[in-house]
Structure 1
Amino acid sequence: MPLALALSPHLDDAAFSCGGTLAAFASEGWEVAVATLFTASVEAPTGFALACQTDKGLPPDADYMAIRRAEDAEACRRLRAEPVWLPFREAPHRGYGSAAALFGPLRSDDAAHLDLAQALEPLLVERRPDLLLAPQAIGGHVDHVQTVRALHLLRPSGPVLWWQDFPYLAKRQTHPARPFEGAMSALPEEARPIEAERKRHACAAYATQLGFQFGGPGGLARALDEAGRREFFRRAGAGLAAAAA
């Protein structure tokens, strides 16, 4: 059984961006796994990091990431995917002190891409995925950028589908940041039909994020409707027929 492995920066990115494709792979008989990179719980957060949970209605003493991991487990169950959680801290716990900073330049002391590459290398050796899916880092979120940088260090030999980062394309940004546009634009674009209802059901599992990202479940539904019934990628490496052979 071929394996499709999605490398998701946060606990929702893969479902939001390519959940319909992952669900379709599962229906076609693929094994599907979602490895989320920045999932570490942090005891007693302060400042902007604390605000990132309290502004979603959670109390200061809540284990925000444990709640999010539970949401991800349910979302993956709905996609028929295996969740895998790597123990790295999100950007607000690495010195990025504001919402603007999350989409600004990388800090000079942020070596997350090196740590990610060191952790991902044995995972890829162990799991031997037939296909990787990963973000293009559209929008420029520093955690997405570091994910791409880590994969560039590893230079995977197999096929990669680089997804369009959702919801950054859905937030009416006329020109969202595309830090890797040069490399991505050189790759062929691929549009894939999706299992839209299964994707919708999986995305709805991320209850803590729906108000912040979309204004609530209704906003999520509208954003997914506007995105349509295909997901778009840049493809590197061999085609999917070769991957599944």
Structure 2
Amino acid sequence: MIFHSLNELSHTYNHVYLSPHLDDAALSCGGAISAQHRAGQRVLVVTLCTATPSPEGSFSELAQAFHTAWGLSPAEVVATRLREDEAALALLGADGLWAGCLDAIYRHPTAYTSRTTLFHQPAADDPLHAELTTLLIALRERLPEAAFYAPLGIGAHVDHLLTYTAARTVVGTNLIYYEDIPYAMRPGALAERRARVDITLNKQIIAIDATLDIKLAAIAAYTSQMVELAQSQLGLTVDDVTDASAALTAAIAAYAHQVGGALPAERIWV
């Protein structure tokens, strides 16, 4: 089930995953989410950047480049991605809360003008931190017993970094961090991020051999993202969605086996 405000939540939840964008939770934690659902636990994925920009608005060159890569017009882009997210969460067995914040490329187009500025320190006047802090305080009050999961910030996407900072501020030492996939798959990316984080972190390995196939199916539901992710993250020159999806899911499966060794796994940090 998809919710659009905290007031709509009718259940308590055992696990709350903070997903900056419409795909981050499935990419990074889909195996664990599915396993938790199978174990009879309630999972809520709170996706932050789900607001629709005005199609009549002025879009930066960066936003236009993403629209082209996704094969979507400004009027279609968020609606399409929301449909994909709903399908993916249904596969994983999780409920979703769409928080209604704007993606960085729409929220602050004068600050985030290139991939270099998008994968960098957030702008000092970015309003998302205050929005997320308010939301997370309300979430914690509404779901005091839930375990909260936030991105570690690997890859340094500004939306991931802002989510990390706000969650760490509000939730504190009880926060669980997940590895940002696909950025964590880059050699050295995890070590680089850990070197920048000023807290002691202990890893936990979560075997996902029973749910890896469901995770990969959920990832593949984000059809609009497959080509761009395969090109930007895997360096492939693919234009076909089917080929891109096969390449991306194969790479993620291989990474899961790299993390888990004998069994495919996801890694969290506490």
2:13 and 2:143 in contact (8 A); partners too: no
1:6 and 1:134 in contact (8 A); partners too: yes
CA distance in 2, matches of 1:182, 1:104: 15
The question of 1:12 aligning with 2:5 is answered no
- Deviation, 1:207, is 0.4
CA gap 1:2/1:55 in 2 versus in 1, 3 angstroms? closer
For residues 1-245 of structure 1, the aligned pairs below 5 Å read: 3-44=14-55, 45=57, 46-47=59-60, 48-60=62-74, 62-93=75-106, 94-95=108-109, 96-156=112-172, 159-170=174-185, 172-175=186-189, 177-178=192-193, 181-184=196-199, 186-194=200-208, 195-215=211-231, 216-227=244-255, 228=257, 229-235=264-270
CA gap 1:129/1:201 in 2 versus in 1, 3 angstroms? farther
| Corresponding residue number in structure 1 for 2:237 | none
CA distance in 2, matches of 1:107, 1:32: 32
Q: For residue 43 of structure 1, give the secondary structure of its aligned residue in structure 2.
A: coil
Q: For residue 136 of structure 2, give the secondary structure of its aligned residue in structure 1.
A: helix
Alpha-carbon RMSD? 1.9
- Deviation, 1:173, is 4.2
Q: For residue 176 of structure 2, give the secondary structure of its aligned residue in structure 1.
A: strand
User: When the two structures are superposed, what TM-score results if normalisation uses the length of structure 2?
Assistant: 0.80
1:41 and 1:63 in contact (8 A); partners too: no
Cα deviation code 1:103-141 (max 9, x no counterpart): 122212113111111122112212334211111001111
Amino acid at match of 1:74: A
1:19 and 1:202 in contact (8 A); partners too: yes
Q: For residue 137 of structure 1, give the secondary structure of its aligned residue in structure 2.
A: coil
CA distance in 2, matches of 1:145, 1:180: 15
CA gap 1:129/1:89 in 2 versus in 1, 3 angstroms? farther
Cα deviation code 1:168-217 (max 9, x no counterpart): 022x3444651774335x12110001110110111111001111112511
Q: Runs of 4 or more off by more than 4 Å in structure 1?
A: none
CA gap 1:179/1:87 in 2 versus in 1, 3 angstroms? farther
- Deviation, 1:152, is 2.1
CA distance in 2, matches of 1:154, 1:69: 27
CA distance in 2, matches of 1:2, 1:15: 18
Cα deviation code 1:25-57 (max 9, x no counterpart): 111110011000111100125122232212221
